[in-house]
Structure 1
């Protein structure tokens, strides 16, 4: 039987992996629409410093960008409680539709 500490470590590790996927999806969506992911992130969270995981995801995008639709991204952001970022993405998506 696993110890409570071991289970907590696994839960934390899984959350961090999932969070990385969310960040990669956000960065990919921005790249798909020629938007600056760092700028949008700063609009959603102006009080935060640079997100190092986001910066890393942006750097990695130059080699491999996946296509992600807006609805999927919004669902993933909301799943992780990133309502502010989901709102900014939704606003940008509305602007894109108008063009």
Structure 2
């Protein structure tokens, strides 16, 4: 069973939350804090599926988001738990994000 569809489900939320931080280097806990500040309704169950490492242009985990390894990635991993935000104007982000 692949987890890619579940992980990819949260891509737009994470990309939207990270857009103001484009070019900045953030730790995993900082990324999660930004995401939860923007989407406080994310449940604990939903949060367990969101890992920056699943959304990297230079690092592809088993079951990662569809964006991993592509120009639609949100992050570039610089070291374990540290990422540069590269979301820019990712074309896959719509204006209607719905609810997480």
TM-score tier (shorter): 0.3 to 0.5
* TM-score, normalization by structure 1: 0.36
User: Which has a greater percent of strand?
Assistant: 2
More helix by share: 1
